[in-house]
Chains A and B, each alone.
Chain A
Amino acid sequence: MSHSTPPDCEAKSTSTLPEQPGVLVIRKHHFLVRLSHWLNVPILFGLILSGISIYWASPIYQHKPDPNTGNVDVAADIGIWICAHVPGLHHYSSAPDWIYNHMSLGPGMLGLALRLHWLCAYLFMLNGMVYVAGLVIGGGWRSLLPRRTDLLDALRMFRYYVGFPFAKLARREWPHPVFNTKYNALQRAAYFSVLVAGFLSVATGWAIHKPMQLHWLAALFGGYNAARVWHFWLMLIYIQFVVPHVILVFADGWDTLRSMIVGWSTRVERSEVLANEQ
């Protein structure tokens, strides 16, 4: 029997806890939550890439036809602008397709993109059910619910993040706001809203996919055309969630990333044990 305690555990527990031969951990994420969390990565990739290929066939954002090229697509304009202003892209062969060549499966493959989109959409719905099942079985859903104090706490966290680089530069102490919860208010807002966004993506997706049989659903979002706009912006919400999500996980450290794979975390400072000690 090994009596060696990992150093990080020792450092955290010596002051308040009697010496333990094992490692103190909390079970942070249920297996089904971890599984569906990672499955979302390839599924959302597939949905977004095929989705933008579908968007190509009939862009939501159009203007009057360009007198020279006949182009109506704002996304094509952005591609043309990029190719004109980014060094090295001046001779890009199909500037209007730049966005589609780099952010979708590609232009001109609607039939294939639709089939991939349906495949990924059904997987996304199944995966969403697995995620919700994991939240319910593991009890994690309670940690995601918004609270009345969240607005103020979120502002405190926001102030912390904004001030963090300056405090580092000035070598000033910049303590992390203390919360007695699994997530801080900003995290909670982000995770909860991305869950809602997932639900709305599915709902608007069905509204676009079956605007006649489910016309009440399309009407709920303001009609067929409005549901397409919703569906598009929900995709952008994922992207603006994922970027800081990935940055912050790496900034937060190995324990956080590992906990989404193995389920447990050695960060027990906010656990029940210490709450009892306080």
Chain B
Amino acid sequence: MNNEGKGDIPSMGVEPEVKSISVKKPQSFFGERLLPAIEMAPRILRYQSRRDFLGFGAAALAALAGAGFLLPQETLSRIGIHRNMDPLGKEWFLNKALRLDDDVAEALYSANRSVPTYTKSQITSLKNNYNGATPDPGYISGWKLTLDGLASGLSVSLDIRNLLTRFSLHEQITRLVCVEGWSAIAWWAGLRFDDLLRTHPPMSQAKWALVESSVNLDASGNPDPYFMSLDLATAHHPQTLLATQFNGHPLTLDHGAPLRLLVPVKLGLKNVKAVTRITYVAEEPRDYWAERGYSGYDGI
């Protein structure tokens, strides 16, 4: 037996002596190779086992700590962990992850890629998904669309007749996808946002549009103005409409009469109903749902 000193072989890097002769059968590339049995000094095995158990154990503790850090307060309370406040940095970290996903979404966006369109037989029902109460129809008669942040430096107000006579209508049957997961196929018609941008160009440094609806209500019927950020790249997309018709008829109150944003490359929550103001700005503006923990870009 001439194996003295074997125990001194450093754990990694140096291959322990292989005690077998490899099988010389011709083997296909995909064929399973038999694993060579190697002789290891027990001391090395013990050392490696201790190292790996400690390493994986530490990682398991880190994962538990990470879960405690990231899981919502309600979830932790339910399993008996009560904490008074969310740790600092949790929101920051989760928003960082969300930001990464938004960057991926923005990289996936292509101005030339059209969303799928459908036939009339594929149209599905679309529920009134006003987040709060549906506004009183009184606003419709005096409705105006106000444009701000224009190259001219002026503020422009347009009524619905004005918009319908000056712009040509485009039709599309597209899918509206809600952040909740449901979706609906509907037949829309309206003017292209791109055409509006052409006739009323925004100031040169503008990168974003802030799309607002002042008539939006909260669940108990109190005013709760809705505001959405929309990047101008998406606003220029040929399928981004300022829709005035739904399933062949003028928009009803439920669907944001007399004019709503229809942006099928974004989640439904970007499709602002009863738009009353569009402001072009250079920096990313506020966003109703981004302030409530959702994505701000919402590209789909």
B177's partner among A22, A41, A101, A211 (CB-CB below 8 A) is A211
A213's partner among B19, B23, B33, B265 (CB-CB below 8 A) is B265
Say whether A210 contacts B300, CB under 8 Å: yes
Check: B41 CB closer than 8 A to any chain A CB.
yes
Per-residue B-contact encoding for A15-55, CB less than 8 Å = 1, 0 else? 00000111111111000001000110110011001000011
* Closest residue of A by beta carbon distance from B77: A106
Interface residues of B in 1-32 (CB under 8 A from A): 1, 3-7, 16, 19-23, 30-32
Say whether B38 contacts A42, CB under 8 Å: no
Check: B66 CB closer than 8 A to any chain A CB.
yes
A262's partner among B39, B48, B116 (CB-CB below 8 A) is B48
How far, in Å, is A233 (CB) from chain B's closest CB? 15
Decide: A116 near B70, CB < 8 A? Known: A25-B45, A38-B59.
yes
Say whether A27 contacts B35, CB under 8 Å: yes
Check: A159 CB closer than 8 A to any chain B CB.
no
B39's partner among A20, A34, A114, A208 (CB-CB below 8 A) is A20
Interface residues of B in 42-89 (CB under 8 A from A): 42-43, 45, 48-49, 52-53, 56, 59-60, 63, 66-67, 70-72, 74-75, 78
Classify chain B: how many residues form its interface, as a range. Answer: 35 or more
Say whether B178 contacts A58, CB under 8 Å: yes
Decide: A21 near B299, CB < 8 A? Known: A106-B74, A145-B30, A264-B45.
no
> Which of A74-82, A244-252, A267-275 sits within the interface?
A267-275
Assembled-state Cα–Cα distance A111/B179 (Å): 9
A212's partner among B48, B100, B115 (CB-CB below 8 A) is B115
* Closest residue of A by beta carbon distance from B19: A273
Check: A1 CB closer than 8 A to any chain B CB.
yes
Residues in A neighbouring B53, C-beta threshold 8 A: 261-262
How far, in Å, is B31 (CB) from chain A's closest CB? 7
Check: B293 CB closer than 8 A to any chain A CB.
yes
Residues in A neighbouring B39, C-beta threshold 8 A: 20, 22-25
Say whether B49 contacts A115, CB under 8 Å: no
Residues in B neighbouring A219, C-beta threshold 8 A: 116
Say whether B108 contacts A213, CB under 8 Å: yes
Assembled-state Cα–Cα distance A21/B41 (Å): 8
Check: A263 CB closer than 8 A to any chain B CB.
yes
Say whether B36 contacts A42, CB under 8 Å: no
Check: A142 CB closer than 8 A to any chain B CB.
yes
* Closest residue of B by beta carbon distance from A260: B56
Residues in A neighbouring B94, C-beta threshold 8 A: 112, 115-116, 119
Say whether B299 contacts A105, CB under 8 Å: no
Residues in B neighbouring A116, C-beta threshold 8 A: 70-71, 94
Check: B101 CB closer than 8 A to any chain A CB.
yes
Decide: A263 near B35, CB < 8 A? Known: A22-B42, A105-B75, A213-B299.
no
Decide: A1 near B19, CB < 8 A? Known: A24-B37, A105-B75.
no
Decide: A25 near B40, CB < 8 A? Known: A181-B32, A214-B108.
yes
Check: B249 CB closer than 8 A to any chain A CB.
no
Q: 29 A–B contact pairs at CB < 8 A?
A: A1-B4, A1-B41, A22-B3, A23-B39, A24-B38, A26-B38, A38-B60, A42-B67, A46-B67, A58-B178, A110-B180, A111-B289, A111-B294, A115-B95, A115-B97, A119-B94, A145-B30, A182-B35, A211-B177, A211-B300, A212-B115, A212-B265, A213-B105, A219-B116, A261-B49, A262-B45, A271-B20, A271-B36, A272-B34
